[in-house]
């Protein structure tokens, strides 16, 4: 039964979502009922008496047209917010040089709050227009700019996890962009958690996340202290893990153990930990990741530049490990996660076929657009422990409407040719922000 007294919104139309990596689910002509907490309270056949009743009581009713589909909002599980001004540039260097030559100098500029605010105010609404209803952000070492990012997400209504970046290693970081000591890094990270929780208007939309940048940038004391902080404050963790040959090799050389093993050792690998990239994570590491219910943020475009390999998405999904999708801005240059779905499929095909006969390829590696969209929605939500990703009772109403009627992107439905599965594939492969007519986060319409 619908508890109808607090029905805020009813959206009537056809839903496309992907509850498991294997299959698209189409809910044809349903009424999605959203309560005043922004949570889905019922999904009813649109022509049922219960739906009629919900429509009568709702403050707002949105009826989709023949060429519109309701879909879950996209969850970008890996974004470097301060890299926004270098989006589209600077990908000529390998990761370890790119960080020092381009990225750390740019991130250091966020000590200037006015600069930080000018970037956040452009970036956050742009993500929303691309249908990204949740972002998992790395902010900067600067605590104030990190809080400003969280505040900007609250103001624009984007669900977000915002992490103050911790990094103190005397060789892995420049002395002009680092925590002066491990202790100062831990204290600043704790302050950031407190400030984000205390933000005016933040009723749980924006959460802090403990963010050691990656092992090469952090001392043992900092890593251990952040593990303890995450556990004591019950906060999620994000970091980079086994991204490239250099990074994976660095950790093996420093400890004689893998990234995954060391993150576990420092208390940083736990339920909900987001491990970015993970291209070189090994099978025994996956046993650990699965056991603790952590997951991987797969960033396919960025991996083409920095990772020296293709993330084996199909194999890892098959292990039952959580996998979300990430843009990894600015090492990935596409803002929208729909484009990352295409990159995920494309790179999986290259992994399967091999490259120009030099590498024979890896059988059974291809994923399809359905599995990619699973990662961009349900996979990310499950990794984060977020009730979202599918349009189902009890989940936050974080959703978008995509129109296939008026696009200049080549997205067009031909009634004689296109069934629902092809419409879905066309939407994911071809749609852009101009095709997204409605965006809701927690039931609230975003302009
Ligand atoms: N490893 C440590 N920092 C970064 C970063 O900013 N981008 C990527 N892709 N990898 C990293
Ligand atoms: Fe990254």
- Given a contact cutoff of 8 angstroms between Cβ atoms, the answer to whether 446 and 156 are in contact is yes
Residue 162 has pLDDT above 80, yes or no: yes
- HSE (CB half, 13 Å, CA atoms) of 401? 20
Helix pair angle (182-197, 220-233), 10° resolution: 30
Residue in 77, 87, 91, 95 to alter for ligand 1 test, most ligand atoms within 8 A of Cβ = 95
Instruction: Please give the distance, rounded to the nearest whole angstrom, from the Cα atom of residue 319 to the centre of ligand 1.
Output: 26
pLDDT in tens, 382-415: 999 999 999 999 999 999 999 999 778 889 999 9
Instruction: Please give the distance, rounded to the nearest whole angstrom, from the Cα atom of residue 106 to the centre of ligand 2.
Output: 15
Same domain, 58 and 124: no
Check residue 3 and give its pLDDT: 53
Same domain, 395 and 378: no
Ligand 1 atom closest to residue 214's alpha carbon, by position in its atom list: 2
**H or E segment to which residue 276 belongs:** strand 274-277
DSSP 388: -
Instruction: Please give the distance, rounded to the nearest whole angstrom, from the Cα atom of residue 107 to the centre of ligand 1.
Output: 12
Ligand 1, residues at Cβ distance < 6 Å: 80, 95, 99, 103, 213-214, 240, 243, 302, 306, 328, 331
Same domain, 93 and 19: no
Residue 128 has pLDDT above 80, yes or no: yes
Ligand 1 atom closest to residue 80's alpha carbon, by position in its atom list: 6
Instruction: Please give the distance, rounded to the nearest whole angstrom, from the Cα atom of residue 421 to the centre of ligand 2.
Output: 32
Tell me whether residue 198 is in a domain. Answer: yes
Residue 86 has pLDDT above 60, yes or no: yes
Residue in 213, 298, 304, 340 to alter for ligand 1 test, most ligand atoms within 8 A of Cβ = 213
Tell me whether residue 261 is in a domain. Answer: yes
Helix (H, G, I), strand (E, B) or coil at 59: coil
Instruction: Please give the distance, rounded to the nearest whole angstrom, from the Cα atom of residue 247 to the centre of ligand 1.
Output: 10
Ligand nearest to the CA of 136: 2
Ligand 1 atom closest to residue 240's alpha carbon, by position in its atom list: 1
- Given a contact cutoff of 8 angstroms between Cβ atoms, the answer to whether 428 and 338 are in contact is yes
**For ligand 1, atom 3: residue with the closest CA:** 213
- CATH number, position 50: 2.30.40.10
Residue where one domain finishes, among candidates 360, 384, 408? 384
The residue with tokens 């805020």 is 8
Same domain, 409 and 422: yes
Same domain, 291 and 416: no
Average pLDDT over residues 341-352: 97
Ligand 1 atom closest to residue 247's alpha carbon, by position in its atom list: 1
Q: Other CB atoms closer than 10 Å to residue 194's CB: what's the count?
A: 11
Residue in 82, 99, 280 to alter for ligand 1 test, most ligand atoms within 8 A of Cβ = 99
Ligand 1 atom closest to residue 83's alpha carbon, by position in its atom list: 6
Same domain, 154 and 291: yes
pLDDT in tens, 366-385: 999 999 999 999 999 999 99
Ion ligand 2: residues, CB < 5 A: 276, 328
Count of structural domains, the chain: 2
Check residue 357 and give its pLDDT: 81
Mean pLDDT of the chain: 96
Question: Where in the sequence is the domain holding 354, given as residue range(s)?
Answer: 76-384
Residue where one domain finishes, among candidates 331, 352, 384? 384
The residue with tokens 């090469």 is 216
| Residue 369 to residue 321: CA distance in whole angstroms | 19
- Model confidence at 7, pLDDT cuts 50, 70, 90, reads confident
| Residue 161 to residue 222: CA distance in whole angstroms | 21
Average pLDDT over residues 85-98: 96
Instruction: Please give the distance, rounded to the nearest whole angstrom, from the Cα atom of residue 401 to the centre of ligand 1.
Output: 32
Ligand nearest to the CA of 275: 2
- Given a contact cutoff of 8 angstroms between Cβ atoms, the answer to whether 8 and 58 are in contact is yes
Instruction: Please give the distance, rounded to the nearest whole angstrom, from the Cα atom of residue 238 to the centre of ligand 2.
Output: 10
Percent of the chain with pLDDT over 70: 99
Tell me whether residue 354 is in a domain. Answer: yes
CA-closest candidate to residue 237, choices 99, 104, 103, 384? 384
Residue 319 has pLDDT above 90, yes or no: yes
Percent of the chain with pLDDT over 90: 96
What secondary structure does DSSP assign to 131-153, as a single string?
Answer: TEEEEEEE--S-HHHHHHHHHHH
Check residue 185 and give its pLDDT: 98
| Residue 425 to residue 416: CA distance in whole angstroms | 16
Ligand 1 atom closest to residue 243's alpha carbon, by position in its atom list: 10
Check residue 5 and give its pLDDT: 57
Same domain, 416 and 377: no
Helix pair angle (420-430, 337-353), 10° resolution: 100
Average pLDDT over residues 404-433: 93
What secondary structure does DSSP assign to 313-334, as a single string?
Answer: HHHHHHTT-EEEE---TTTS--
| Residue 203 to residue 233: CA distance in whole angstroms | 18
Ligand 1 atom closest to residue 216's alpha carbon, by position in its atom list: 2
Same domain, 431 and 330: no
Residue in 238, 296, 331 to alter for ligand 1 test, most ligand atoms within 8 A of Cβ = 331
Alpha carbon 95 to its chain's center: 21
CA-closest candidate to residue 403, choices 58, 40, 14? 14
Alpha carbon 168 to its chain's center: 26
- 63-77 per-residue burial string, b: 16 or more CB within 10 A, e: under 16: ebeebbbbbbbbbbb
| Residue 446 to residue 19: CA distance in whole angstroms | 25
Same domain, 234 and 298: yes
Residue where one domain finishes, among candidates 384, 409, 425? 384
Instruction: Please give the distance, rounded to the nearest whole angstrom, from the Cα atom of residue 240 to the centre of ligand 1.
Output: 7
Instruction: Please give the distance, rounded to the nearest whole angstrom, from the Cα atom of residue 418 to the centre of ligand 2.
Output: 37
H, E, C per residue of 194-242: HHHHCCCCCCCCEEEEEEECCHHHCCHHHHHHHHHHHHHHCCEEEEEEC
Tell me whether residue 2 is in a domain. Answer: no
Same domain, 344 and 413: no
Tell me whether residue 371 is in a domain. Answer: yes
Pairing of strands 74-80, 132-138: parallel
Same domain, 393 and 307: no
Same domain, 175 and 155: yes
Tell me whether residue 27 is in a domain. Answer: yes
Ligand 1 atom closest to residue 302's alpha carbon, by position in its atom list: 9
Tell me whether residue 1 is in a domain. Answer: no
Tell me whether residue 410 is in a domain. Answer: yes
- CATH number, position 103: 3.20.20.140
pLDDT in tens, 237-249: 999 999 999 999 9
- HSE (CB half, 13 Å, CA atoms) of 269? 27
Alpha carbon 195 to its chain's center: 22
């Amino acid at each position: 039964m619908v508890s109808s007294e607090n029905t805020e919104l009813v959206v009537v139309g056809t839903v496309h979502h992907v509850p498991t990596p294997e299959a698209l689910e189409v809910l044809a002509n349903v009424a999605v009922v959203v309560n005043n907490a922004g949570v889905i309270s019922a999904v009813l056949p649109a022509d049922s008496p219960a739906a009629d009743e919900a429509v009568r009581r709702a403050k707002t009713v949105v009826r989709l047209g023949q060429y519109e589909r309701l879909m879950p909002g996209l969850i970008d599980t890996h974004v470097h917010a301060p890299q926004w001004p270098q989006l589209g540039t600077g990908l000529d260097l390998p990761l370890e040089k790119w960080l020092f030559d381009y990225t750390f100098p740019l991130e250091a500029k966020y000590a200037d709050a006015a600069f930080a605010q000018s970037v956040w105010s452009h970036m956050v609404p742009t993500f929303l227009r691309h249908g990204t209803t949740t972002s998992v952000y790395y902010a900067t070492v600067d605590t104030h700019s990190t809080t400003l990012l969280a505040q900007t997400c609250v103001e624009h209504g984007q669900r977000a996890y915002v992490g103050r970046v911790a990094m103190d290693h005397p060789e892995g970081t420049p002395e002009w962009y680092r925590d002066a000591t491990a202790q100062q890094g831990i204290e600043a990270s704790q302050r950031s958690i407190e400030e984000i929780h205390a933000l005016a208007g933040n009723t749980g939309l924006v959460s802090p996340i403990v963010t050691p940048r990656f092992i090469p940038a952090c001392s043992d004391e900092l890593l251990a202290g952040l593990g303890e902080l995450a556990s004591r404050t019950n906060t999620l963790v994000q970091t980079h893990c086994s991204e490239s040959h250099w990074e994976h090799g660095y950790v093996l050389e420093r400890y004689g153990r893998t990234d995954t093993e060391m993150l576990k050792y420092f208390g940083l690998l736990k339920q909900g930990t987001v491990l970015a990239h993970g291209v070189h994570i090994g099978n025994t590491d996956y046993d650990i990741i699965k056991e603790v219910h952590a997951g991987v943020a797969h960033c396919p475009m960025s991996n083409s530049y920095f990772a020296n390999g293709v993330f084996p998405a199909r194999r890892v999904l098959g292990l039952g490990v959580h996998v979300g999708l990430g843009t990894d801005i600015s090492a990935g240059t596409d803002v929208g996660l729909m484009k990352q779905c295409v990159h995920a499929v494309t790179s999986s095909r290259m992994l399967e076929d091999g490259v120009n006969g030099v590498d024979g390829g890896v059988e059974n590696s291809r994923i399809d657009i359905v599995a990619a969209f699973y990662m961009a929605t349900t996979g990310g939500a499950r990794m984060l422990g977020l009730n979202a990703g599918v349009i189902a009772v009890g989940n936050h109403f974080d959703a978008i409407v995509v129109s296939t009627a008026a696009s200049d992107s080549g997205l067009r439905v031909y009634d004689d040719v296109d069934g629902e599965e092809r419409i879905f594939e066309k939407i994911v492969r071809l749609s852009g922000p101009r095709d997204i007519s409605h965006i809701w986060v927690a039931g609230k319409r975003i302009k």
